């Protein structure tokens, strides 16, 4: 028998017990999902913020305080509510002792989200500085922590502040490397809180947000195209629904449980999707295909239930099957509400009912039109995948059908040289590469059958697995990686048009990004600096003088694989593609990709003049100064 190595010994000494701080810091993903640097809406720093705000929201729901003040600057977060304030003798325990809180025995908190006493403690453990201060009945207590460790605690002092709690924290840079809060992401989170808590005012960095009409306001502010009929808004006990249809493709849902934005849906969202199909079939007395009923829908669903069960600590997907322990099934409850409320609404509003029917019939005609093309295209795609050199998949997908997509990325590249560099440099466990063959088609104004007729689009759709929606999307991040030249920009624009035209929900849900690669390499014998802008280039020249070597990267293929590893690794720079509701999607695409060439030419000329005045001239002057210094 081979001698047992020291590394394989398993005995009593192998068993370790971690305290709450150590476990959270060692396994942060169990508590906040993925880490990230703030470029994605589901990155950990936003979960930290949400955990603190959730407690303030619970105070509002209990009838304590009608506003919350939030301030974020240089990575430091402050959240001040005007609730009752943490009991002064329990301030330290409430933020540092696991499974400690005031919600376990309170009937009023039965329909709250944060019932497990973990959220605030996770924020504390993952912050390099965490300060909590409670104001209560003219007195105050303050405590300061570092990585969950108590640094100091002040005794009870007199205070003239209004009751409530102030929490200030700074995410730990040891865990959240190079993080940055995007204020538009924070604003989106805050708006959702106000939609779900009518009458609450949240002040963020000096701007106030409030809502009068709940989910109706949410859809009004988030529709990316004109609705085909007025928004249907239904309210009941512990349930609120709003939906309409547009001319865009796809299905777009905003779902919430007890105020928590369930970005990955879950039982309640699935139940709503089933319920509107069943109601439409019964109202119109025809067995419509479910996809025809839901095609182009934009909907918001909010429910409040007892003891919700989520599929992870981050609470992004509901797993509950019942409304409460021993209560009715969640599916039947939602179905009964939709069937009654929606059926009554349609009978009372025949014009809206007729508009929805016309939309269903239009979707039905289009689906039947492309059915034959779709079958042949899918067969071609399956054959192509057997020897497909366009897609170089990552290992999590090659070996697992249920891999966690949170950590997978697909780079869409142009040409063999660029795809070759990325393929060699990538992390094969989580990063895949899809190589384009030339410029894709400008698909603006075309129907969805072009997705199946065009080989490039069809193979890309199959690689992403988005033919039937985002439920089975194989990659969390789809990154457009093109050269920093005119052709590369054109390809980028054509790809954006493809996704916005046929899969806008992919963009709305924050899955599409642009890869930022360096334009310049400035180096001497001792140091190399990669520069992403002209200003960075000038700064690098000044730092590495005299006369450093300067290389201008025109294409991705010019960057060696060894260098590329640094650009698509931990320090990757991604620019998320955002689709905001206040601009019409059709109008946006029509302007940039339609046949109004003269208008675009005028726009380019006017803005080119502005660029020359504001950027180009100062940059040239600065370069001249640098050249004089180096001479």
Q: Which of 365, 399, 432 is the last residue of a domain?
A: 365
Q: What is the C-alpha separation between 176 and 75, in angstroms, rounded?
A: 11
Check pLDDT > 80 for residue 343: yes
Give me the pLDDT at residue 110, please. 56
Q: What is the C-alpha separation between 133 and 85, in angstroms, rounded?
A: 9
Residue 430 belongs to some domain of the structure? yes
Cα-based distances in Å from 138 to 59, 93, 153:
19, 21, 18
Whole-model pTM? 0.78
The pair of structure tokens assigned to 200 is 């609450």
Check pLDDT > 50 for residue 263: yes
**CATH number, residue 304:** 3.30.230.10
**CATH number, residue 151:** 3.30.565.10
Q: Which of 207, 240, 273 is the last residue of a domain?
A: 207
Per-residue b/e over 380-395, b at no fewer than 16 CB within 10 Å?
Answer: ebeebeeebebbbbbe
* pLDDT tens figures, 482-498: 887 788 888 999 999 99
Higher-confidence residue: 458 or 15?
458
* pLDDT tens figures, 511-537: 999 998 888 999 998 899 999 888 899
Phi and psi at 234, nearest 5°, equal: -125, 135
Give me the pLDDT at residue 94, please. 87
Residues 568 and 454 in one domain: yes
Residue 63 belongs to some domain of the structure? yes
pLDDT averaged over the chain?
84
Residue 629 belongs to some domain of the structure? no
The pair of structure tokens assigned to 626 is 């640098």
Check pLDDT > 70 for residue 12: no
User: Can you give the residue range of the structural domain that contains 348?
Assistant: 215-365
Give me the pLDDT at residue 350, please. 97
Residues 305 and 422 in one domain: no
Give me the pLDDT at residue 618, please. 45
Dihedral (C-alpha) 133, 136, 140, 146: value to the nearest 10 degrees? -20
Residues 341 and 406 in one domain: no
Residues 338 and 480 in one domain: no
* pLDDT tens figures, 559-612: 888 888 888 988 888 888 887 665 577 778 887 887 877 877 787 777 765 544
Residues 240 and 122 in one domain: no
Residues 31 and 85 in one domain: yes
Q: What is the C-alpha separation between 325 and 308, in angstroms, rounded?
A: 10
Residue 606 belongs to some domain of the structure? no
Q: Which of 148, 174, 207 is the last residue of a domain?
A: 207
Beta strands in 82-184 (DSSP E): 127-136, 139-146, 149-153, 157-158, 164-171
Residue 442 belongs to some domain of the structure? yes
Residues 187 and 289 in one domain: no
* pLDDT tens figures, 307-325: 888 776 667 788 888 888 7
Residues 201 and 219 in one domain: no
Q: What is the C-alpha separation between 90 and 575, in angstroms, rounded?
A: 43
Instruction: State percent of the chain over pLDDT 70.
Output: 87
Residue 538 belongs to some domain of the structure? no
Check pLDDT > 50 for residue 72: yes
Give me the pLDDT at residue 286, please. 96
Check pLDDT > 80 for residue 3: no
**CATH number, residue 460:** 3.40.50.670
Say how many domains are in the chain: 3
Q: What is the C-alpha separation between 216 and 233, in angstroms, rounded?
A: 6
Residues 171 and 152 in one domain: yes
Check pLDDT > 90 for residue 131: yes
The pair of structure tokens assigned to 212 is 């009068």
> What DSSP character marks residue 322?
B
Interstrand relation of 512-516 and 260-261 (parallel, antiparallel or unpaired): unpaired
Residues 148 and 182 in one domain: yes
- What does the pLDDT average to over 391-412? 74
Give me the pLDDT at residue 616, please. 43
Residues 335 and 434 in one domain: no
């Amino acid at each position: 028998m081979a001698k047992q190595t020291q590394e394989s010994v398993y005995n009593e000494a192998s068993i370790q017990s971690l305290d709450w701080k150590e476990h959270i810091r060692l396994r942060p993903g169990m508590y906040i999902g993925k880490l990230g640097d703030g470029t994605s809406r589901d990155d950990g720093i936003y979960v930290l913020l949400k955990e603190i705000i959730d407690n303030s929201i619970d105070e509002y729901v209990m009838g304590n305080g009608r506003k919350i003040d939030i301030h974020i600057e240089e990575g430091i977060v402050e959240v001040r509510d005007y609730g009752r304030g943490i009991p002064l003798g329990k301030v330290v325990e409430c933020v540092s002792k696991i499974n400690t809180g005031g919600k376990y025995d309170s009937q009023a908190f039965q329909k709250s989200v944060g019932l497990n006493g973990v959220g605030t403690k996770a924020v504390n453990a993952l912050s390099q500085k965490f300060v909590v201060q409670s104001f209560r009945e003219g007195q105050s207590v303050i405590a300061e922590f570092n990585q969950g460790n108590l640094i100091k605690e002040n005794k009870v002092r007199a205070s003239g502040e209004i009751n409530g709690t102030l929490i200030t924290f700074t995410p730990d840079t040891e865990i959240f490397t190079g993080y940055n809060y995007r204020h538009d992401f924070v604003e989106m989170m805050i708006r959702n809180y106000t939609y779900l808590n009518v009458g609450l005012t949240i002040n963020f960095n000096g701007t106030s947000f409030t809502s009068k009409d709940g989910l109706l306001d949410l859809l009004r502010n988030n529709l990316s195209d004109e609705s085909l009929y007025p928004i249907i808004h239904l309210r009941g006990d512990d349930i609120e629904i709003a939906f309409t249809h547009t001319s865009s493709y796809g299905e777009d849902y905003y779902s919430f449980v007890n105020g928590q934005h369930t970005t990955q849906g879950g039982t309640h969202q699935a139940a709503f999707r089933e319920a509107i199909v069943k109601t439409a079939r019964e109202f119109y007395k025809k067995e419509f295909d479910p996809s025809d009923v839901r095609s182009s829908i934009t909907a918001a669903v909010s429910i409040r239930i007892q003891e919700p069960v989520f599929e992870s600590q981050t609470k992004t997907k509901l797993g509950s099957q019942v409304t409460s322990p021993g209560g009715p099934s969640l599916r039947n409850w939602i179905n009964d509400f939709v069937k009654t409320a929606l059926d009554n609404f349609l009978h009372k509003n025949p014009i809206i009912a007729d508009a929805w029917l016309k939309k269903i019939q239009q979707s039905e005609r289009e689906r039947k039109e492309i059915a034959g093309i779709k079958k042949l295209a899918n067969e071609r795609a399956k054959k192509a995948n057997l020897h497909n050199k366009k897609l170089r998949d990552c290992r999590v997908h090659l070996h697992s059908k249920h891999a966690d997509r949170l950590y997978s990325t697909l780079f869409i590249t142009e040409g063999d040289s660029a795809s070759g560099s990325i393929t060699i440099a990538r992390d094969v466990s989580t990063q895949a590469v899809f190589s384009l063959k030339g410029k894709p088609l400008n698909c603006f104004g075309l129907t969805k059958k072009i997705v199946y007729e065009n080989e490039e689009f069809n193979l890309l759709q199959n690689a992403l697995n988005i033919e039937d929606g985002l439920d089975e999307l194989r990659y969390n991040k789809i990154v457009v990686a093109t050269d920093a030249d005119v052709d590369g920009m054109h390809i980028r624009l054509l790809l954006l048009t493809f996704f916005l035209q046929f899969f806008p929900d992919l963009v709305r849900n924050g899955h599409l990004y642009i890869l930022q690669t360096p334009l310049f390499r400035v180096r001497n014998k001792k140091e190399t600096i990669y520069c992403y802008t002209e200003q960075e280039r000038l700064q690098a020249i000044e730092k590495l003088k005299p006369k450093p070597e300067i290389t201008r990267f025109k294409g991705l293929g010019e960057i060696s694989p060894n260098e590329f590893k640094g650009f698509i690794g931990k320090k990757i720079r991604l620019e998320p593609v955002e689709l905001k509701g206040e601009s019409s999607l059709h109008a946006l695409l029509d302007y940039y990709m339609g046949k109004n060439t003269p208008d675009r030419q005028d726009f380019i000329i006017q803005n080119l003049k502005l660029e020359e005045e504001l950027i180009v001239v100062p940059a040239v002057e600065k370069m001249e100064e640098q050249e004089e210094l180096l001479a």
